[in-house]
Amino acid sequence: MFDLDGTLLRSDKTISPYTTKVLQKCRERGLILGIATARSEMNARRFISEVNPEIVVSSNGALVSFKGKSIYRCEFSKEDTKTIIDTARAALGSDCEITVDTADKHYWNYKVFPLDLDSSWGETTYTDYSRFCETALKICIGFKDEELARQIADSVGDCSYFKFSDGDWYQFSRKLATKENAVAELSKAVGIETADITAFGDDFIDIKMLRVCGKGVAVGNAINEVKKIADVVIDTNDNDGIAKYLSDVYNL
């Protein structure tokens, strides 16, 4: 189970030819491949097509699919989505930056066009959120204040939040919309034992997934908190850490 950004992807948001070749050998060997990403499925499609995984965990665990079929969804209602957005806009101003993942779209109101910030993002839909009315798998809001993040989360029930390690953004989702819970739901739905899963990650949101899986692997560029709990620390994402590890373990 591979996290994408900072883990399977290099810093330039690409998968190396060597890693692609190793993943193909894994498929030929009969190994089941999975992606577990904070990106929406829409914004991960480019990499899904490259990896061709049987398992896709997107929006940080809010949506899980197996062989193209959705098996788990954990989302905010339209009413709760509106409450979170309205609470943020009241505190930060109507032009505060927000992204929303739904099952089939990624919405944004960035001051800069998303593809100018990161060319790896998939299709995006602009909205000013003034009349936004959708269920949401994940909501991200740009600001610094943790107390405000707590207040926004408390404005609806069953909501968790965390701050990204690489910027002033908070993510809001249902409490069970996590990578580790997605792994548990996957295990129940398709009979894959968590003990048989190897998970790879680099950031805070990967820690519990690495813990619940049979083996947790941190890439060399992972934050220290991830390295401390990992069973194995491998080479960095820019040095084909995952491909080297898989080649060694499975004699590819």
Cβ atoms within 10 Å, residue 134: 19
What pLDDT sits at residue 118?
64
106/46 same-domain check: no
Give buried/exposed letters for 86-107 (b at 16+ CB in 10 A, else e): ebbbeebeeebbbbbbbbebbb
Residue count of the chain = 252
Per the structure, the complete domain to which residue 103 belongs is given by 78-174
Of 174, 198, 225, the residue that ends a domain is 174
What pLDDT sits at residue 82?
97
149/170 same-domain check: yes
92/49 same-domain check: no
Of 174, 195, 219, the residue that ends a domain is 174
For residues 214 and 206, the answer to whether their CB atoms sit within 8 Å is no
Of 151, 174, 197, the residue that ends a domain is 174
Q: Which tens digits make up the pLDDT trace of 131-163?
A: 999 999 999 999 999 999 999 999 998 999 988
12/125 same-domain check: no
Residues in the chain where the model's pLDDT stays below 70: 112-122
66: left (phi over 0), alpha (psi -120 to 50) or beta: beta
Give buried/exposed letters for 200-216 (b at 16+ CB in 10 A, else e): bbbbebbbbbbebbeeb
pTM score, two decimals? 0.89
Domain of residue 244, CATH code:
3.40.50.1000
